[in-house]
Amino acid sequence: MRFMVIRKTDQDTEAGVLPAAGMLEAMEGFEEQLQVAGIHCAGMALHPSEQAVRVNFHDGSISIYEGPFSEENELVAGFSMMEAASKQELIEALERWPAQPHDMTLEVRGGGCPGGLEGIGLKKSVVNVGQNQVHKRFLVLLKANPLAETGAIPSDQVLAAMAKRNEEGIRAGRLLAAEGLQVTASGSRLKFAGGKPFVLDGPFSETKELIAGYWLLQEESIADAIDWVKTYPYPFIEDAQVEIRQVQQEAEKAAALIPGAATSADVAADLPA
């Protein structure tokens, strides 16, 4: 079964503070443990929301808003695409997440579009990655709305248009992964307070900050990602919001091992444009 595990922000991640070297090593060890347990994981960290953009669709009009965004505890700091035999198996494994300097929340959501649109796994789409001279990845998050949270299914025409656009993105080497998510009634949250995990089962009420689906793009700039987002045939586009977040490069994660690199912004400034 496919899952998306969403890590919510805290004051450090939203400030762009790099994790300590020991934390990176602990996370690498944890990911190895997951692999041994048969849980496949592809995890990524995101830049703070000050580098993000939101695109709102309402009654045929499009509005664009630049970050930062204020709802700190509900923003996404990182995400992992995971495969496990069951949600219960995955939650039991996630309860062993390495201790963090702050309280932390993980949201576990089942993958799978309610309308049956096939998801795009990272391995399937990565074949085309080297064909373009692009070097930045952007996570496109489709926010849920009350209609999406009911499990409403888009029309056949919308699903066909989405499938066509996804396939075009794969062929162009722009779309690396995509997946619709099950409603939060089938999801869970794992809250770590004082280092101890507590499980809360869905549904969850803060609809505006829930995620209904995602796309992982590879683009030269966030402007290119915005152009892609503005023309995508989203379900229920009469009232939709999309958030675009840049994924940290591997070099930025490794920077925690370098003395003097205090934030991800310090490292990003030294990377090739």
Indicate if the alpha-carbon torsion angle 121, 127, 130, 131 is positive or negative.
negative
CATH number at residue 42: 3.30.70.1060
In this prediction, residue 194 has a pLDDT band, given cuts at 50, 70 and 90, of confident
Cα 140-32-39 angle, rounded to 5 deg: 60
pLDDT of 183 higher than 90: yes
Residue 261 has pLDDT above 80, yes or no: no
The answer to whether residue 208 sits within a structural domain is yes
Q: Is residue 251 part of a domain?
A: yes
Q: Which two tokens stand for residue 29?
A: 């060890």
Range of 83's domain? 2-268
3-class secondary structure, 117 = coil
Does residue 125 lie in a domain region?
A: yes
Per-residue confidence (pLDDT) for residue 239, from 0 to 100 = 87
* Letter string b/e over residues 197-234, b meaning 16 or more CB atoms within 10 A of that residue's CB: beeeebebeebebbbbbbbbbbbeebebbbebbeebeb
Number of domains in the chain: 1
Tens of pLDDT, residue by residue over 82-101, are 999 999 999 999 999 998 88
According to the model, what pLDDT value does residue 207 have? Answer: 64
190 assigned to some structural domain: yes
Q: Is residue 273 part of a domain?
A: no
Tell me, yes or no, whether 109 lies in a domain: yes
- Which tens digit of pLDDT belongs to each residue from 52-93? 999 999 988 999 999 999 876 678 999 999 999 999 999 999
Write out pLDDT tens, residues 98-139: 988 888 999 999 999 988 999 888 754 444 444 445 579 999
In angstroms, the CA 24 to CA 108 distance is 22
pLDDT on residue 256: 43
Q: Is 210 part of a structural domain of the chain?
A: yes
At residue 73, the pLDDT reads 62
